[in-house]
Amino acid sequence: MVGLSIGETNFIRGGIAQDLRCDGRKRLSYRPINVETGVIPQAELGRPSSSRPDHGKVSIHVDCSATAAPMYQGKGGEELSSELALALQRGLLGSKSGAGAGIDLSSLCIVEGKTCWDLYIDCLVLSSDGNLLDALGAGIKAALSDTGVPRVQVMAADASSSSDQPEIDVSDEEFLQFDTSAVPVIITLTKVGRHYIVDATAEEESQMSSAISISVNRQGHICGLTKRGGAGLDPSIIHDMISVAKHVSEQFLNKLDSEIAAAQARQEES
């Protein structure tokens, strides 16, 4: 990955201890965010699972393109992609039964128990310089805000019809915008030495002892948590990291929402 000399590692660690990182940022500030809307997640008609008949289904898939790093070519990126996809699912979708999901699945339901929308979210990593989870989470939120679910009309089911699937008329014209105000965002706190930083670059990530990725929504509720890295963490430190993440998430959410709104305005203009 990144080969760093001892001098460089000392520089990174020392800098973080003094609240000054390699690119001049403070420990808790993010790199500039650029949002461009245009990629549409695909939605297909499908059957809801039996345990949650009034909810739709969402499936998240991540692919690490070889353009991000040569080692991702062929099967190389699969481990990282599955790890990222699972972390995203944990953060955004809640448990297997669908309870407590960050994304509102009931808006995807068409006919209870029979038909629902199957939303596929496909993420593609083109260029990677650390902090992939946060970027993917922000990207998913932006993409969902751009998603339109076609308006669907259900024809009255014929009493004599033996088919299990009711007749559905999918409109090509009208779209319902997906409501993303409740979608959580993922904040990753990387612990280097005795301090934690937010939005680590690839070099800083190579120095980390452990990292916690917390999915927080607008109300400040935690929707999911993933701890990565081998080093053990004292529970009080985890508690502290969670409160720091909640504090950072407010600023991040505001910035992200304004970027998404600006991107949509740009799209409407063109």
Partner 1 sequence: MEFVSPEGLRLDGRRPLEMRQLRAEIGSISKADGSAVFEMGNTKVIAAVYGPREVENKSQQISDKALVRCEYTMANFSTGDRVRKPKGDRRSTEISMVIRQTMESCILLEKFPGSQIDIFVQVLQADGGTRSACINAATLALADAGIPMRDLVTSCSAGYLNSTPLLDLNYVEDSAGGPDVTVGLLSKMDKVTLLQMDSKLPIDIFENVMQLAIEGCKAVANYIREILLENTKQLEYRRGK
Which residues of the shown chain bind partner 1 in the complex (CB under 8 A)? 39-42, 44, 61, 63, 65-70, 73-75, 120, 122, 124, 126-129
**Is the Cβ of residue 125 or residue 187 nearer to partner 1 in the bound state?**
125
Minimum Å distance from CB 33 to partner 1? 16
Q: Measure Cα distances from 67 to 28, 71, 73, 99, 128 in Å.
A: 29, 9, 8, 37, 9
CA–CA separation, 25 vs 238, rounded Å? 23
Minimum Å distance from CB 70 to partner 1? 5
**Is the Cβ of residue 43 or residue 245 nearer to partner 1 in the bound state?**
43
Q: Which helix (H) or strand (E) holds 197?
A: strand 195-198
Residue 25 DSSP label: -
Query: Residue 108 in contact with residue 117, Cβ under 8 Å?
Result: yes
CA–CA separation, 18 vs 188, rounded Å? 20
Q: Which helix (H) or strand (E) holds 30?
A: none
Strand partners, 118: 44, 57
Minimum Å distance from CB 108 to partner 1? 17
**Is the Cβ of residue 67 or residue 258 nearer to partner 1 in the bound state?**
67
Query: Residue 142 in contact with residue 260, Cβ under 8 Å?
Result: yes
**Is the Cβ of residue 76 or residue 166 nearer to partner 1 in the bound state?**
76
Angle, vertex CA 267, rays to CA 264 and CA 270, nearest 5: 155
Minimum Å distance from CB 97 to partner 1? 25
Which has the closest alpha carbon to 182: 106, 95, 262? 106
**Is the Cβ of residue 125 or residue 214 nearer to partner 1 in the bound state?**
125
**Is the Cβ of residue 8 or residue 129 nearer to partner 1 in the bound state?**
129
Say which amino acid occupies 21.
R
Minimum Å distance from CB 69 to partner 1? 7
Minimum Å distance from CB 200 to partner 1? 15
Minimum Å distance from CB 245 to partner 1? 27
**Is the Cβ of residue 86 or residue 126 nearer to partner 1 in the bound state?**
126
Query: Residue 102 in contact with residue 183, Cβ under 8 Å?
Result: yes
